[in-house]
Structure 1
Amino acid sequence: MAKYTESVCRLCRREGQKLFLKGDRCYTNKCAVDRRAYAPGMHGQARGKKPTEYGIQLREKQKVRRIYGVLEKQFRGYFDKAARQKGMTGENLLRLLERRLDNVVFRLGFASSRPEARQLVTHGHITINGKRVDIASYLVSTGEAISIKESSKDNNRIKEMAESLKDRAVPAWLSLDINSITGTVINMPTREDIQIPIEEHLIVEKYSR
């Protein structure tokens, strides 16, 4: 499967804001957005042209794709699925993205970033209801319990993560048991649970052209 292999800090600089793709580094003075607050590339500092309506819609779509780590074809698939569901397409889209297993692992605090969460999933460190699941795009459902595989709890990085869980706040649609390092999906996410500056109506407008 194709994947992005270049510096993720370039993605944040291109969108002009922190997407928190490097975990704890994003909160330090080493963050690329703080150090170089302009687009990457040799003409990055020269970009001052007012964006078009289409350009604004494109940037919003690219921003959301990059936040959740989804490639173009897969993102379009989520959009088409959201459009077939009842309710507002933009909100349906965000709810689908929030239900991705790698995002849930990140939201529970089992990883410092979504890329790290994706790595935990694909390397087989995560279980759902006691069964190992290594598909990052798996959509969680109400009642499912997400845990660290028992044999993985001796991993040094996972031990560090477990120690920091007491300071972690999880979204209202999830619950977290720190002692067993287990999170449970108690509800489906709502738009109010997604505290990310996203204007999903711009994405809908782009795909509606």
Structure 2
Amino acid sequence: MARYTGPDCKLCRREKTKLFLKGSKCLGAKCPIESRPYPPGEHGRGRTKESEYQLQLREKQKTRRIYGVLEKQFRNYYEEANRKSGKTGENLLSLLERRLDNVVYRAGFAKSRDAARQAIRHNHILVNGKRVNIPSFLVSEKDIIEVRGKSTDLTPFVVARAESEAHQVPAWIEIVSDKMRILVHSLPVRQQIDTQVQEQLIVELYSK
């Protein structure tokens, strides 16, 4: 399985914003973007003229990196969103939000999407009572996602349970913290997604 294995903090610096890829490190003073808020590399501090294409490309790259998706898979999500009725950009974000690794992260059961992917790959997560170890699995309305019984005593999930009251979750899911369970009440719509991206720029880029 292809995946990005480089330094996550360089991705945040390249996009000149926090992508929250490293969990609690992103919230502290040790976050590299606090001390070096410019792109990495020899010419990172240089001035660049931002063209229309560059703005569209950077928005696509930022969105792709937030959700931890490689280019081919991201393009597939776009094509699927384009086939659906409604606005393509909003459909695209809805598909990305429905990824199982994102749902586990949004619920507060993992500090980052990377950590959520690891939990899923290690068979700690059940969907409707069945083991699912595919992070890109798309959840559906009325799905029940939960931490496997034997895994609830592992430190990351114990911490998540203790911090559940302070964690804000999207309106389209509900958390039953004592049972480490996620209830999917509906599919996400744009108003319920707080990801700071301009999806219309992505649509314009792929429409060229």
Taking structure 1 as the reference length, what is the TM-score of the superposition? 0.98
SS at match of 2:196: coil
AA of the residue aligned to 2:40: P
Residue 9 of structure 1 aligns with an amino acid whose one-letter code is C
Q: 1 CA distance for matches of 2:156 and 2:180? A: 14
Correspondence for 2:108: 109
Q: Give 1:79-118 correspondences, 5 Å limit.
A: 79-118=78-117
Give 3-state SS (helix, strand or coil) of 2:126's partner.
strand
- Alignment partner of 1:9 is 2:12: no
Letter aligned with residue 103 of structure 2: V
Count of residue pairs brought into register by the alignment: 208
TM normalised by structure 2 equals: 0.98
Structure 1 residue 5 displacement after superposition: 0.7
Residue 176 of structure 2 is matched in structure 1 by 177
User: 1:92-112 CA deviation, whole Å, 9 max, x = no partner?
Assistant: 000000000000000100011
For residues 172-199 of structure 1, give each alpha carbon's deviation from its aligned partner in whole angstroms, at most 9, with x where no partner exists. 1001111111011001101001112110
The alignment yields a C-alpha RMSD, in angstroms, of 0.7
**Unaligned 5+ runs, structure 2:** none
**Would you identify which runs of 4 or more consecutive aligned residues in structure 1 move more than 4 Å?**
none
Equivalent-residue separation in structure 1 for 2:180 and 2:2 (angstroms):
31
1:8-47 residue pairs with structure 2 within 5 A? 8-46=8-46
> What's the CA shift for 1:156?
1.6
Looking at structure 1, the residues matched to 115 and 106 of structure 2 have their Cα atoms a distance apart, in angstroms, of 12
Gaps of 5+ in 1: none
* 2:157 corresponds to: 158
What is residue 123 of structure 1 aligned with on the other side?
122
Alpha-carbon shift at residue 76 of structure 1 (Å): 0.2
Specify the SS of the correspondent of 1:44.
coil
Letter in 1 for 2:128: N
Amino acid at match of 1:148: V
